Amino acid sequence: MRQGTTVYLYELAWILPSVAIPVGMLVALLVTAFGAGVHLPGREGRVDPTRVSETAPFDRPGVVELAPGRYEARIVAEVWAFTPNEIRVPAGSTVTFVVTSKDVVHGFLIHGANVNVMVLPGQVARATGRFNKPGEYPFLCHEYCGIAHHTMWGRVIVEASR
């Protein structure tokens, strides 16, 4: 009888984690999806990649002031450049980057800011960063996009408030 109980405890030691781990992952998935608002992009987050230059807001790339201290930077990624590749905002600004690609998969990473997105052809990616400190914040493509991938970069210039 004692030997059977020992086997039962060993089985229990393996069964409990094998049930608890998937349940924990499911809970994490639900919290992320509903609590943090992380979802798959919908139809409203897409544009025709062959008509990006004709589709708002990408027909006029650049920075638009939405409210005092809040900006939207509309950026188009294409082999091997970002348009525009220089963005200027005052210190203390919150900038929402709205980015899409015309051709292949690109990346958009801003050093020194919490902005890092994958840019898919025709998919509209949004990421928001706050720039409190004046200076230059380089951004680059972090997904290999071809032979001149290393030339695909730009910068956010944060100007001192007056």
Mean of the per-residue pLDDT values of the chain:
88
At 78, which amino acid appears? E
What integer is the mean pLDDT of 95-121? Answer: 93
Span 9-23, average pLDDT = 88
Encode pLDDT of 41-58 as tens digits.
556 678 888 898 898 899
92 torsion bin: left (phi>0), alpha (psi -120 to 50), beta (else):
left
Task: Answer whether 71's CB lies under 8 Å from 131's CB.
Answer: no
Residue 9: predicted pLDDT: 80
Mean per-residue pLDDT, 69-84: 94
